[in-house]
Amino acid sequence: MKLFKKILIANRGEIAIRIIRACHELGIETAVVYSDIDRDTLPVRIAHEAVCIGPAPSAESYLNIPAIISAAEITDAEAIHPGYGFLAENPQFVEACTASNITFIGPTADNIRLGGDKAKARRIMMKKGVPVVPGSDKPISDEAEAMETAKRIGFPVIVKASAGGGGKGMRIVPEEQYLGKMYHMAQKEAFAAFGNGELYMEKYISDMRHIEIQILADKKGNIIHLGERDCSIQRRHQKLVEEAPFVLSTPKFRKKVGDAAIKAARAMKYRNAGTVEFILDSNGDIYFMEINTRIQVEHPVTEMITDIDIIKEQIKLAAGSMLSLKQSDVKFSGHSIECRINAEDPESFIPSPGTVSLFIPPGGHGVRTDTAAFSGWKVPAYYDSLIAKVIVHGRDREEAIMRMKRALSEFVIEGIKTTIPFYLKILKDRDFISGTYNTHFLDNFKKASASA
């Protein structure tokens, strides 16, 4: 199968570099788009060509569909990789690419629409026999129906926005008396955030872990999974630390969740790379939560334990190649952890843009630093504050933890505040070291800060 001659990268920062590297290793030429403020950045230097698509505000540059399509046309790029964020999960963008005879490197527009309609995705998974948390089987139309559903499944319940994500339009309802108020608050918030106030309901699982499965699917409907990631360490619905495998994983557990993820992907005729998110409860039961229709920030931990380059696979699949691996060819080795380093105050998490006066990333055996930062670079205030991902691999979790401590300790970033000190504290935490944490880890962490 002939791959593309040239790919346009419609993103910035570390993920733009990550994609450019995959292209160059495949012998594919690259063009990258950039906004005015991103002119003097690494993706612009590393790509073969770069096209300015507008001013710093995302709405006028990285979200500007006509400007990006034009950039692909003037550079003769045959395909566009959207990275994550920005236009990665915009079905209109996929359709704009198709209309201009450009291949979108990612799932279909319909896959993206379903991934963004969480009530509908849940209903389809129920119908196809993928386990879901007890709850509504369709969007909830009014407060009376909300009460009926909540009484049927039992309190506590959680109401979620169909168009949601990032915790917006989500409310935990502990008891009957709060339902009316919480229902209307969630609806209002969802409408304000997404222009869509549609809600659905689930039983609230108080003690859960967030487990997700990386999948790859070709156009013939062959699907494999690359194992699980544990993304339970979150703050305000932002993942901070991710690891693979899940500490308590066994071949049996991995097969159970992996098979459920493949069934979910098959139910929606999924194409390219994606992630199926599950709730794991304290009984060891798993439930489908949602599907992410993009390459994710945390994809490297899976790459480290499988030795599969997920971006290269995305490109080959988008070019029409069939999966070259069977499920039995996917082998897992060692343990990987990722820490997302943000340009933020490590206590308050308030963004800290400004000039990085000195930047010396860690390296050495088993350490990978994905970043677009360098000494002298100015962190713009316009975009996400993620400035580096430190990913380590060790023979086992203990070695991975020691290696992460070593790597973060030698990381030098001067001129701005970063969250590195916060991660060094987490790495010393008793519950983190034992691996017994859940999604409430950081609530407890702030109160107790229990050190081992």
Measure the CA–CA gap between 122 and 137, rounded to whole angstroms. Answer: 7
Kindly report the CA angle at 430 between 424 and 431, in degrees rounded to 5? 100
Name the pairing type of β-strands 6-9 and 157-161: unpaired
Which residues would be at the binding site for ligand MV4 (CB under 6 A)? 133, 158, 167, 170, 172, 202-205, 208, 234, 237, 279, 439
Nearer residue to ligand MV4 within complex by CB, 72 or 280: 280
Min CB(208)–ligand MV4 separation in Å: 5
Min CB(384)–ligand MV4 separation in Å: 16
In the Cβ-directed half-sphere of 37, how many Cα atoms lie within 13 Å?
Answer: 16
Min CB(172)–ligand MV4 separation in Å: 5
Kindly report the CA angle at 390 between 389 and 394, in degrees rounded to 5? 140
Residue the block writes with tokens 């998974």? 125
Min CB(234)–ligand MV4 separation in Å: 5
Active-site option among 122, 294, 340, 368:
294
Min CB(339)–ligand MV4 separation in Å: 18
Min CB(287)–ligand MV4 separation in Å: 7
Encode burial over 235-260: b for 16+ CB neighbours within 10 A, e otherwise: eeeebbbbbbbbeebeeebbebbbeb
Which strand (E) or helix (H) includes residue 69? Answer: helix 65-75
Nearer residue to ligand MV4 within complex by CB, 239 or 316: 239
Min CB(141)–ligand MV4 separation in Å: 20
Q: Which residues does 119 contact at the CB level (< 8 Å), separation at least 6?
A: 136, 138, 139, 162, 198, 199, 200
Min CB(417)–ligand MV4 separation in Å: 25
Could you give the angle at which helices 118-127 and 251-267 cross, rounded to 10 degrees? Answer: 110
Facing residues of 214 across strands? 275
> Which DSSP symbol is given to 344?
B
**Chain-centroid distance, C-alpha 282:** 24
Do residues 114 and 267 make contact, with C-beta atoms less than 8 angstroms apart? no
Nearer residue to ligand MV4 within complex by CB, 217 or 264: 264
Do residues 419 and 349 make contact, with C-beta atoms less than 8 angstroms apart? yes
Residue the block writes with tokens 């507008």? 54
Min CB(130)–ligand MV4 separation in Å: 15
How distant, in Å, are the alpha carbons of 12, 18, 22, 363 from that of 71? 15, 20, 20, 35
Kindly report the CA angle at 264 between 270 and 253, in degrees rounded to 5? 125
Encode burial over 17-36: b for 16+ CB neighbours within 10 A, e otherwise: bbbbbbbeebebbbbbbbbe
Do residues 279 and 133 make contact, with C-beta atoms less than 8 angstroms apart? yes
Q: Following DSSP, what letter does each residue of 103-153 receive, concatenated? A: EESSS-HHHHHHHT-HHHHHHHHHHTT--B-SB-SS-B-SHHHHHHHHHHH
Does 209 participate in catalysis according to the annotation?
Answer: no
Nearer residue to ligand MV4 within complex by CB, 349 or 382: 349
Measure the CA–CA gap between 384 and 433, rounded to whole angstroms. Answer: 29
Provide the annotated active-site residues: 294
